[in-house]
A and B are shown apart, each in its own frame.
Chain A
Amino acid sequence: MENIISVRNLTKQFGAFRAVDNISFDVAQGEIFGFLGANGAGKTTAIRILCGLSRATSGTGSVAGCDIMTQSEDIKRNIGYMCQKFSLYEDLTVLENMELYGGIYGMHRKEILAKAEAMLTELEFWHHRHDLVRSIPAGWRQKLAFTVANLHAPKVIFLDEPTGGVDPLTRRQFWGMIRRAAAAGTTVFVTTHYMDEAALCDRVSIMVDGRIMALDTPEALISKYQVRTMDEVFRTLARNAVRNE
């Protein structure tokens, strides 16, 4: 299958500090790729480079067919992004949020409305479209934020700890949405601290001190390290970390 993200020897240096240290990996189209690592391991820096927010010190790579060194603006048009910290503007309604994000990605009003109706109807949320986000429960907001990030049909969607502070039932529903998006051909690049979620990814990479120490399917990693869960795999690797933030 075609690689949608391809990175070779990527390094990001801040003065004497090497936040990302010579990492290389590929992510295929329609894949759910778990990008794991303890705090301070360099995940956020790597994601910022992939999203076109920051430039790598050295290395090469492409995201959605665009060069990460020279075509950061083209990358931005082809990706979706969602983080735990911020989901949607609370003082706008669900539909206003969708109109804003759709508009940012150059969608026309009619197109936005049609997609919003289809996506919200699937979530059984269409009748709440005029509710202010403020009045919607946190779990629902995360699901809506994912819908909004997916509105412009990006080739890759980056999820930075998308399920932080969400109840287990909503997390399961959220992963159902991720699977459906991947099945439809969208690549999902997700970071998480929940190892049960890591087990749901097609492949995972584990970063320690700026380097990728392991990269394979969850099953293969579990058998390689001769443990029973992804949690144990993660702890085996992260134990040796020098950096701690």
Chain B
Amino acid sequence: MNRFAHFVKKESLHILRDVRTILVVIGIPIVLTLLFGFAISTDVNNINVAACAPHRTAAVRDAVSRVSHTPLFTFKGYVAPDEIDKVLRTGTAEAVMVFADDYDRLVAGTAEVAGCGVQLVLDGSNPNVAASASAYLMQTLSGVAAASPIDTHILYNPQMKSAYNFVPGILGLIFILVCAMMTSISIVREKELGSMEVLLVSPVKPLWIIAAKMIPYFALSCINLLTVLLIARYALGVPMTGSVGGILLISGIYIALSLGFGLLVSTITDKQMVALLISGMVLMLPIMMFSGMLFPTENLPLVLRPITYIVPARWYIDAMRKLMIEGLAFGDVLLELGILAAMTIGIIRVALMKFNDRLE
């Protein structure tokens, strides 16, 4: 055990002496979480809305005031019917509410012919904004119109904040970055330096050398996990009502899996650059595309969807969303947990087999 401790100390010193790397490893998760939480957001805010009404009756004024009091909208004033096209084209407004002549009576339910009270005219050049604006406006206005046909409730993330969704994705990415990429580079660096040869001639078991390398990165990952969870909870307000033990356990398994990937990559190559490329292309890219981190897996073409089943991050992100956002109990993520555990055991077994093969 004494020998092992010497190795862990050596690996920790390598990391601690490399201040730039440690700043990147600790800093990137924080920056990413804050960026996705605050700056990069698919949420639509500050939608400029104008109104077009032949008569500014009490009901119209009431509807307009509801809209303008919602923080999502900025009311840009009334426009004439022939100005609608102009305000949308110039970008003065993203949406225009056109009120019917008999809007008062339609709202009151005393109209001679039932029909639409409000028409929404939207700038569709940014479909995301248009879709959100139309949904928000309908929701806001439906409170006015008595005969609203749709009653929508959004559960778990009622404000539909994208930050909630990103936090598990960021964790899924960070652990691959820190564990798989950094560990593989660190092992391959020893091969490149020639120090691996010196270590192999010593009485230390090869597996101990590798295990000693993993411990500091495991510790770093735990720091990452804590910082991201704390930021998510206290800065972004992610509810985290689910099982905290479950979050930690499933993250632990995913970290072990990432370390296994790192070892596997290091057995494939003797060059740091290649290790970096493999980690980047073969591990990071699928996480971005196929794990549901950025794009919902349901949006993928049918032929590509099976790929998501073999991307471990997909299961991790799914489970974390359930635990962090939906507030489910630990028992509800057993499927994801089982799949991840099986993948982890598989990866580590293959990595160890390849590692032992390479030694001879």
Contact = CB atoms under 8 A, between A and B. Distances in A.
Interface of A: 51-55, 73, 76-77, 79, 81-83, 85-86, 89, 91-92, 96, 99-101, 103-106, 158
Given A76-B203, A103-B5, 10 more contacts: A53-B200, A54-B360, A76-B202, A81-B198, A83-B197, A86-B198, A92-B14, A92-B17, A101-B202, A104-B7
B193 interface: yes
B13 A91 contact: yes
Contacts of B198: 81-83, 86
Interface in B198-244: 198-204
B115 interface: no
Contact of B201 (A53, A55, A99): A53
B296 interface: no
Residue of B10, B13, B193, B194 ringed by the most chain A CB atoms within 10 A: B10
Nearest to B197: A83
B182 to A, nearest CB: 15
A51 B17 contact: no
Q: How large is the interface on B (under 10, 10 to 19, 20 to 34, 35 or more residues)?
A: 20 to 34
Contacts of A158: 201
Nearest to B14: A91
Contact of A99 (B6, B17, B202): B6
Nearest to A74: B203
A42 B3 CA distance: 33
Given A82-B198, A83-B197, A100-B6, A106 B14 contact: no
Given A54-B360, A103-B2, A89 B14 contact: yes
Given A89-B14, A91-B14, A76 B201 contact: yes
B197 A86 contact: yes
Contact of B13 (A76, A81, A83, A92): A92
A227 B195 CA distance: 39
B201 to A, nearest CB: 4
Nearest to A93: B13
Contacts, number: 65
Contacts of B194: 83, 85-86
B151 interface: no
Given A54-B360, A82-B198, A92-B10, A104 B204 contact: yes
Contacts of A52: 201
Contacts of B360: 54-55
B17 A91 contact: yes
22 contacts: A52-B201, A76-B202, A81-B198, A82-B198, A83-B198, A85-B197, A86-B197, A89-B14, A91-B13, A91-B14, A91-B18, A92-B13, A92-B17, A96-B10, A96-B13, A100-B7, A101-B202, A103-B6, A104-B199, A104-B203, A106-B2, A106-B203
A106 B202 CA distance: 11
A45 B5 CA distance: 32
B201 A104 contact: no
A105 B202 contact: yes
Contacts of A104: 3, 6-7, 199, 202-204
A99 B194 CA distance: 19
Interface string B1-27: 011011101100110011000000000
A132 to B, nearest CB: 8
Interface in B7-59: 7, 9-10, 13-14, 17-18
Contacts of A82: 198
Contacts of A77: 203
Nearest to A99: B6
A81 B195 CA distance: 11
B340 to A, nearest CB: 35
A164 to B, nearest CB: 12
Contacts of B6: 99-100, 103-104
Contacts of B199: 104
Contacts of A91: 13-14, 17-18
A91 B10 CA distance: 10
B10 A100 contact: yes
Nearest to A52: B201
B158 to A, nearest CB: 51
B195 A89 contact: yes
B304 to A, nearest CB: 42
A188 B145 CA distance: 96
